[in-house]
């Protein structure tokens, strides 16, 4: 019984409201909050706007903070897009996936096309690398396995034509090994 009473006291103590010192702390400005977010990693303007609104900041204060960050070159959508594109290409994602992700961050279609063209990536080689990483270097003649590999590449965002070329090349290599 004594244990139960002690356990209940601990639970009640844990549910106490925070001290007055914690409540008296002033709320950071939207600019400071956004600058803190940008200190960790690049963010798109849309992403920062969403995070600030979720943090309880008003639209006018959020807009002013984002404009100020843009003027000071702390936030730049082009720089964000380049960093995101480089990272996702290094992770092995295809152009379709990259296009959708960049579009979700509020970039214009024309700018996305420019960025993808400027990246100068050999998508066939990238897809083949992803297949080797996932399934090893051995090819296959099994249609079910070939379909599984094609679906993997499609989920990674590679176009159907690229997937077809890479998976058929894979099959041709397997046929050469058997002969």
Identify the pLDDT of residue 44: 93
In this predicted structure, which of 22-26, 128-132, 145-149 has the lowest mean pLDDT?
A: 22-26
Residue-wise pLDDT tens digits, 95-109: 999 999 999 999 999
Residues 136 and 166 in one domain: yes
Identify the pLDDT of residue 137: 75
Confirm if 146 and 167 have CB atoms less than 8 A apart: yes
Other Cβ atoms within 10 Å of 48 Cβ, number: 22
Residues 100 and 132 in one domain: no
Among positive and negative, which fits the CA dihedral 46, 50, 56, 59?
Answer: positive
Asked if residue 44 belongs to a domain, the reply is no
Residue-wise pLDDT tens digits, 27-40: 888 999 999 999 99
Identify the pLDDT of residue 136: 84
What is the pTM for the complete model shown?
Answer: 0.73
Asked if residue 23 belongs to a domain, the reply is no
pLDDT band at residue 176 under the 50/70/90 scheme: very low
Residues 113 and 129 in one domain: no
How much of the chain exceeds pLDDT 70, in percent? 80
Residue-wise pLDDT tens digits, 134-174: 988 777 778 888 889 999 999 999 999 999 998 875 544 44
- What's the structural domain count of the chain? 2
pLDDT band at residue 3 under the 50/70/90 scheme: low
Helices 30-40 and 59-71 meet at what angle, rounded to 10? 50
CATH number of the domain that 142 lies in? 1.10.10
Residue-wise pLDDT tens digits, 68-83: 999 999 999 999 999 9
- The CA-based angle 73-33-88, given to 5 degrees, is 60
Asked if residue 16 belongs to a domain, the reply is no
Residues 159 and 131 in one domain: yes
Identify the pLDDT of residue 64: 92
Asked if residue 38 belongs to a domain, the reply is no
Last residue of a domain, one of 119, 138, 153: 119
Average pLDDT, the chain: 84
Asked if residue 109 belongs to a domain, the reply is yes
In this structure, the dihedral spanned by the alpha carbons of residues 10, 15, 16 and 22, taken in order and rounded to 10 degrees, is 120
Asked if residue 168 belongs to a domain, the reply is yes
Q: What is the mean pLDDT of residues 124-134?
A: 93
Asked if residue 149 belongs to a domain, the reply is yes
Asked if residue 15 belongs to a domain, the reply is no
Residues 133 and 161 in one domain: yes
DSSP state at residue 16: P
Structural domain boundaries, residue 155:
123-178
Last residue of a domain, one of 119, 142, 170: 119
Cα separation, 74 vs 155, whole angstroms = 34
């Amino acid at each position: 019984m004594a244990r139960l009473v002690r356990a209940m006291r601990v639970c009640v103590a844990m549910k106490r409201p925070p001290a007055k010192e914690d409540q008296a702390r002033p709320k950071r400005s939207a600019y400071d909050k956004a600058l803190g977010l940008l200190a960790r990693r690049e963010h798109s303007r849309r992403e920062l706007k969403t995070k600030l609104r979720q943090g309880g900041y008003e639209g006018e204060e959020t807009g002013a903070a984002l404009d100020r960050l843009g003027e000071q070159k702390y936030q730049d959508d082009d720089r964000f897009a380049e960093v995101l594109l480089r990272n996702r290409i290094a992770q092995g994602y295809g152009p379709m996936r990259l296009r959708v992700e960049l579009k979700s961050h509020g970039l214009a279609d024309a700018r996305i096309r420019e960025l993808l063209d400027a990246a100068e990536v050999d998508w066939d080689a990238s897809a083949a690398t992803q297949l080797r990483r996932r399934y090893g270097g051995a090819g296959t003649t099994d249609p079910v396995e070939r379909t599984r590999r094609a679906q993997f590449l499609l989920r990674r965002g590679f176009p159907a034509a690229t997937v077809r070329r890479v998976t058929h090349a894979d099959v041709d290599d397997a046929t050469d090994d058997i002969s």
